[in-house]
Structure 1
């Protein structure tokens, strides 16, 4: 058990502040009122004492007027720090092995959201270590639990859902937001804040590739959401493509089935949004190629397969069509190691 003050990573708090700002909260005033030095958030290894972060949440809830601040899956997903999700990816093969390693590691990086794993055969409870009394702002705890689910979904690329969610806090008068955030049986006034994970979900493989590639793919999704967010079917197709290209599973029939549509229905809905599967496939490949070449150290030899292309020649032809140059030259001029003027 920790003998020092429980702390939260600065990276985590930066993401939370961006979420608050999206809800109209002035982050500078918030930090001042919570007595948090903004310089602490710039330290990549910085840690903030938990009581200061609790004050931050209480003040943000008051300023926003939202009693369920943070319990929005789309909002939480958008502002969840991608590097935190990427840190969960290592050489571990399955979600269960990743959770085992992170249960030991969390206290070193962000012990305010540290957790333990408690078997209940064939399933497992993921229980937060801290926050099991009502003195904590429930919004911070509930956001941490939702963020954990979102990270698990991101690294497995599966719509993973807990079998149950339990909270130490009393049941709210209106639990609609809780049901939307955690589409599973909810139990309140319990001894711990915890999520019941299905044993079969623990066997899910984590996304292949390095952490940097994972971040690249998530960055592309953020860009596509900004561009296609109002074109709902187009974004859902693009989202599926980002997850499927590396597996070679981007045929029309499988994409339509994943969206609960027939081939004909999918084509019709995309036409209504002034696009097609072929156009979206090319757009997603182009966005991914740009990020792989310009923002990662991913090996060129791996990229054709990651884009669902046959070989290096097809990849080179596509890059020339998209960017007017070769993959190596594009990386040389746009990559992280490009010469500075």
Structure 2
């Protein structure tokens, strides 16, 4: 499964800004955003990925001095962001069906957007929650997302004049709300419980001109297979990717990892069990690999390495080295090299238990 990476999104936003007349090279340089184009956030660390997108919009709004910048970044081909899912929307029988398919398969496009669709008294409510990490999600990011979603719905319906009947923002009202009412052509409510667009059922039940049941059937099969593959993807591998940067913090490590994967601790434990492992075993493996990397090096003391590995005391680190390598950690400072004699086994009860 391939999400839209940071680099993908940055390049698309740059293209949109350039089409709007911005000198994007100068703009990104002034905002200090060049590093985002490398996609430096690991795919496993979904909260860090979300923070990069938030940083992007925060910095661009500051440099341009335009708090409504999110509305100005318009995609000329909104379905290009969705790949195969865009084709399914075009093949859907009605706009409501297309919107439902968008919400259903959104995890294949981006895992940091939680999408919902529900009926509300003669209306259909489309909700989007952008998951935030250490940074709050800025309003510009929601402005851009609503702009893109509305452009997508209009494109699929073949109705450039289609308007929602209400828009909700879970933000305090800005100094002027007039630009929002003008943009959406309907009442805009701020300080709402959630972020959502509402459409009249008469509009959203309209047939789509490009509806193709046969094509939709094949696309459903393809996307369902991709969802199943996503469910089967190795959670253990993603946990291993995250642990080296988190392990020395200690504390509720399992809870922190689950939060960064955007799943519950119970789901994390279940998925790892399905893969024949558990969280403690993975922590033990990662500790062993880090120890192998640093033992015998003059660049770090044994006390510092013990702390880096998240052990509660040096004696726990000593016992772990005996279990992993058949040697005490002090022996490596004398020999200067590591000879692995045993594999990793379950961590002893005397070491600090993760989570």
- TM-score (ref. length: structure 2): 0.49
Distance in 1 between residues matched to 2:31 and 2:108, nearest whole Å: 24
Q: Report the CA distance shift for 1:187/1:101 in structure 2 as closer, same or farther (over 3 A).
A: same
Q: Quick one: structure 1 residues 204 and 119, their matched pair in 2 at CA, closer, same or farther if it must change by over 3 Å?
A: same
Give the CA deviation at 1:209.
7.2
Partner of 2:260: none
Q: Does 1:87 align with 2:85?
A: yes
Aligned-pair CA distance for 1:20: 3.4
Q: Matches of 1:79 and 1:48 in 2, distance apart?
A: 28
How far the C-alpha of 1:104 sits from its partner, in A, is 1.4
> Cα 1:40–1:135, aligned 2, differ >3 Å: closer, same or farther?
closer
Give deviations 1:195-243, integer Å, cap 9, x for gaps.
Answer: 1111112212224178xxxxxxxxxxxxxxxxxxxxxxxxxxxxxxxxx
Q: Name the structure 2 match of 1:78.
A: 76
Shift of 1:113: 3.7
**Which residue of 1 is the match for residue 167 of structure 2?**
165
Larger radius of gyration: 2
C-alpha distance 23-170 of structure 1, shift in aligned 2 (>3 A): farther
Question: Taking structure 1 as reference, are residues 19 and 97 closer, same or farther at Cα in structure 2, changes over 3 Å only?
Answer: same
List aligned pairs for 1:310-329, cutoff 5 A. Answer: none
Partner of 2:13: 16
Which structure 1 segments of 5+ residues have no match? Answer: 1-5, 42-46, 211-341
1:143 corresponding residue in structure 2: 144
Displacement of 1:116 in angstroms is 0.3
Name 2:101's counterpart in structure 1.
Answer: 101
Q: Which residue pairs with 1:63 in the alignment?
A: 63
The 1-side partners of 2:79 and 2:14 are apart by: 11
CA drift at 1:176: 2.7
| In 1, Cα distance between equivalents of 2:201 and 2:138 | 31
Question: In structure 2, do the counterparts of structure 1 residues 187 and 34 end up closer, same or farther at CA, with 3 Å as the change threshold?
Answer: farther
Shift of the 189–69 alpha-carbon distance from structure 1 to 2, 3 Å rule, reads: same
Counterpart secondary structure, 1:71: helix
Paired with 1:114 and 1:10, the residues of 2 have a C-alpha distance of 21
Tell me the CA shift for residue 126 of structure 1. Answer: 0.5
> CA 1:171–1:32 in 2, change beyond 3 Å: closer, same or farther?
closer
* 1:59 Cα offset (Å): 0.9
Name the CA shift for 1:67/1:39 in 2 (closer, same or farther; >3 Å): closer
State how far apart, in whole Å, the 2-side matches of 1:149 and 1:167 are: 15
Counterpart selection for 2:205 from 203, 206, 219: 203
Q: Which residue of 1 aligns with 2:333?
A: none
- In the superposition, relative to structure 1, how do residues 126 and 118 fare at CA in structure 2: closer, same or farther (>3 Å)? same
Report if the CA contact (8 A) 1:113-1:130 is conserved: yes
CA distance in 2, matches of 1:195, 1:78: 21
Structure 2: tracts of 5 or more residues without a match = 42-46, 213-355
Q: 5 Å matches for 1:214-293?
A: none
Which residue of 1 is the match for residue 122 of structure 2? 122
C-alpha displacement at 1:82, in angstroms?
Answer: 3.4
Relative contact order: is structure 1 or structure 2 higher (C-alpha 8 Å, sep ≥ 6)? 2
Alpha-carbon shift at residue 162 of structure 1 (Å): 0.5
**Cα distance in 2 for residues equivalent to 1:156 and 1:30:** 39
Offset of residue 8 of structure 1? 5.8
How many aligned positions are there?
200
Q: In 1, Cα distance between the equivalents of 2:131 and 2:179?
A: 20
Alignment correspondent of 1:175: 177
